[in-house]
A and B are shown apart, each in its own frame.
Chain A
Amino acid sequence: MDATTRRRLIMLAPLGIAAAAGGGFWGLLLRMQEGTYDPHSLPSMLVGKRLPEFSLPGQPPSEGFSSADIIRSGRPALVNFFASWCVPCIQEAPVLMQLKQQGVPIWGIAYKDKADAAAGFLQQHGDPYVRVARDEPGRVAIDFGLYGVPETYVLDRQGVVRMRWAGGMSDDVVRDSLAPMLKSLA
């Protein structure tokens, strides 16, 4: 390669880099529209691992439960963290009620909530849970890697976390992600 051609190629380099960067941004935009890329969301570290050991007191009138209880049930289940002060939790309540009607066991954990506030929430928006526990200090939530409410974890029969949905559950999410996952675990 003679000097002139090499020089021409070097001058082409900035365009090449810009084109690669542009292609990258394009890819990210596409993924954002699909929903597979969200700069603010975190992937769960628990996916593929057994759920963390814990034992929590009950949200009256329900009894509390532990991780062993969930595993012992031997069925695929959901663990849902909620709070009375959380607006998306109100919006996802009807969706969870529908899942309960379809026979999906949901174990609820009230995160950083006062007992009477949580009770009021369940009264007002319905109680889709098999059992409801309280995590007022929020330590168990941190063991789950929680960074906001609501969050829903999908567990298989052995208690291994298969999926985590951060944010409110909606019909679209149920249809596109949750239902297929539950079907595959059945």
Chain B
Amino acid sequence: MIPELGHFALALAVAIAAAQAVLPLLGAHRRDARMMAAAPALAVGHLVALAASFGCLMWSAVVDDFSVFNVAENSSSSEPLIYKITGTWGNHEGSILLWCLILACCGAAVAAFGRNLPSALRARVIGVLGFTSAGFLLYALTVSNPFLRVWPPPIDGQNINPLLQDPGLAMHPPVLYAGYVGFAIPFAFAVAALIEGRVDAAWGRWVRPWALGAWCLLTGGIALGSWWAYYELGWGGFWFWDPVENASLLPWLTGTALLHSAIVVEKREALKTWTILLAIGTFSLSLCGTFMVRSGILNSVHAFASDPTRGVFILVLLALVIGGSLLLFALRAPSLAASGIFAPVSREGALVLNNVLLCSVAAVVLTGTAYPMFAALVFDAKLSVGPPYFHMTVVPLLVPLFAAMSVGPTLAWKRADLLPGLLRLWWAALLAALVGLATAAGLRDAFAAAGFAASAWLIAGAFAELTERVRLFRIPIAATWARAVSQPLAVWGAAIAHAGMGVTVAGIAGMSLSASTIVSVRPGETVAFGGYDWTLAGIHTQPGSNYTARVADLRVMRDGRQVVLFHPSRHSFTRQQQTISDTAIQTNLIRDLYAVMGDERDGQVVLRLHVNLLAPWIWLGALVMAAGGGLSLADRRLRVGAPARRAAVAVPARV
């Protein structure tokens, strides 16, 4: 009964989405106020129907209804409850439904929070979102239906891949998809603006919070995925430049460019074409990422369904959405009003440079990811593009980008002198040079030293503009403090986000120095490694709900004091005949102790031990970036259409 209800709700959602697509756009075209006013209601109705549908699917998994094919394929009765719930999106059909659900949330969010938008624009935005939703929902309803039944129902489900039974991986899809799909809103804004034929400062202001929100979520999603790979897969790395990883990085790169470009549209009504193209491009890259993963044409172990017929449907969908929006761009963009003028050396100029560099990095990553397919198609050659390629091509582009990240905010709008800005950064440059030289001399590793220097430059430089604004050390501390707390949140947000990037760079530089070894030990034996003493206290067997585990008790000591007693283990999942290693990690936020258990032979067990320097900073940095973004989002000037009227503060005028 419940699956039928879910199926019905899904069909209902398709119908409402179709209405959401047609009515508001028609209304905006005819300036029919009633039709335009229907938009928010339709968006909310669409969300309710789809949420009900998703709820029914989740319920079927929770109550072990194996007559639903999706549940029979991917769940099992012995699975812990939490993974039954999160397993709803751990498979192809469920994840598409999740994608649609988040898209519906986007429409409802614009309906709820976009009350200050002019009704025509809001109607068009909701309409475009409706179009996209209707397409994906139709896909879900027809070729990717999660509510298909199987009769007679099997006694038990086949259980999902044991790798998916993990908290980090369970949360990775919702957060990541929220980021991916979140960029549909700026996309809808861009298309709506092209339809209207007008891009102005107000549009820039309205788009920014949505782009910022999606960006924060995407940053979190990518970080979660990378962190999961680190602690779960046990190879000691955190990024392989696998096609699916790159598919998430691409929209992040262009999304970052979009974020910054929109600022220029808002402040100076310039860079309109760039911003519109970036908004369309970011969501297009999100969509392409989905297609590549689900179609099977990618060589990646991440890929779910390898069904070419599904691939065809998605390709048609993509052609309509991306092709349609780019066609609209080609037709309407030339007639966008001419942009504001600015000198090459100015904040706009710096943001143009930022756009150019970020888009170049994105182009390189895209080329590397798509090249094996291109070579197969054109040259009939079989080659592979792995991490070495990306390191050699992306890193040189990052150097000018990092340099500009700290210099850019010090430049004034319209026309600036480079020298005063650079001089203000003298202490950041000095710090970077010192850190670089110290680490180069001490560690004798040029790459890591460069990384640490870049990190110092980014973190110190991030606060350069702030220290200037609060006149740090030039006026009394009390006055500095007063200025600091009265700074708009967006200024703090930007500084913190840029500093977060620096933290991540430091983490990556530290990881490049990590040490590892493989040892074969008997219980009771001790190995000295990395400045610690690792003792295998014992090995024992531990049964689990759907697995049996062999657990090693590993004690790590330093100077006679115990640092940690942790338990790397190997879980054998009897049903799928798979064994996976459960890595043991202990962190003090400066270094990670990392142990993986291997085979046992003749009473000895093989262990791989790592000491990873600054590893947690990689993901902490991402958290800081997202926090900075969130802080900017909290700035009232962004959320409210008009600038907030603030009480007068007695602060001397800025000269």
A and B touching (C-beta < 8 Å)? Answer: yes
Q: Which residues in A have their C-beta under 8 angstroms from that of B329?
A: 11, 14-15
Complex Cα gap A43–B273 (Å): 45
Asked if B284 and A18 make an inter-chain contact with CB atoms under 8 angstroms apart, the answer reads yes
Asked if A14 and B281 make an inter-chain contact with CB atoms under 8 angstroms apart, the answer reads yes
Asked if A24 and B377 make an inter-chain contact with CB atoms under 8 angstroms apart, the answer reads yes
A residues 6-30 with Cβ under 8 Å of B?
Answer: 7-8, 11-12, 14-15, 18-19, 21-22, 24-29
B residues 149-196 with Cβ under 8 Å of A?
Answer: none
Asked if B382 and A43 make an inter-chain contact with CB atoms under 8 angstroms apart, the answer reads yes
Check: A61 CB closer than 8 A to any chain B CB. Answer: no
Q: Mark A131-142, 1 if CB is under 8 A from B, else 0.
A: 000000000000
Complex Cα gap A100–B273 (Å): 68
A52 CB, nearest partner CB in chain B, Å: 20
- Identify the closest chain A residue to B374 (Cβ): A24
Asked if B323 and A8 make an inter-chain contact with CB atoms under 8 angstroms apart, the answer reads no
Q: If A32-B297, A40-B299 touch, does A15 touch B377 (CB 8 Å cutoff)?
A: no
Asked if A28 and B297 make an inter-chain contact with CB atoms under 8 angstroms apart, the answer reads yes
Check: B557 CB closer than 8 A to any chain A CB. Answer: no
Asked if A29 and B330 make an inter-chain contact with CB atoms under 8 angstroms apart, the answer reads no
- Identify the closest chain A residue to B376 (Cβ): A37
**Stretch of B33-41, B56-64, B201-209, B314-322 with 4 or more beta carbons under 8 angstroms from chain A:** B314-322
Complex Cα gap A164–B284 (Å): 39
Complex Cα gap A24–B284 (Å): 16
Asked if A28 and B376 make an inter-chain contact with CB atoms under 8 angstroms apart, the answer reads yes
Complex Cα gap A54–B436 (Å): 55
Q: Which residues in A have their C-beta under 8 angstroms from that of B277?
A: 14
CB contact between A29 and one of B280, B308, B376 (< 8 Å): that residue? B308
Q: Which residues in B have their C-beta under 8 angstroms from that of A124?
A: none
Q: Which residues in A have their C-beta under 8 angstroms from that of B334?
A: 4, 7-8, 11
Check: A42 CB closer than 8 A to any chain B CB. Answer: yes
A91 CB, nearest partner CB in chain B, Å: 17
Check: A33 CB closer than 8 A to any chain B CB. Answer: yes
Q: Which residues in B have their C-beta under 8 angstroms from that of A37?
A: 297, 376
Complex Cα gap A19–B325 (Å): 12
Complex Cα gap A98–B296 (Å): 33
B residues 275-323 with Cβ under 8 Å of A?
Answer: 277, 280-281, 284, 291, 295-299, 308, 311-312, 315, 318-319, 322-323
Asked if B330 and A11 make an inter-chain contact with CB atoms under 8 angstroms apart, the answer reads yes
Check: A39 CB closer than 8 A to any chain B CB. Answer: yes
Q: Which of A7, A26, A29, A43 counts the most chain B CB atoms within 10 A?
A: A29
- Identify the closest chain B residue to A4 (Cβ): B334
A contact residues vs B (CB 8 Å cutoff): 4, 7-8, 11-12, 14-15, 18-19, 21-22, 24-29, 31-33, 37, 39-40, 42-43
Please name 8 pairs of A and B residues whose Cβ atoms are closer than 8 Å in the assembled complex, sorted by A: A11-B273, A11-B330, A19-B323, A29-B295, A29-B308, A32-B296, A32-B308, A32-B311
- Top 4 nearest A-B pairs (CB, nearest first) are A39-B299, A15-B326, A12-B330, A11-B330
Q: A29-B308, A32-B308 are in contact. List 6 more A-B contacts (CB 8 A).
A: A15-B327, A25-B297, A27-B377, A32-B311, A39-B372, A43-B382
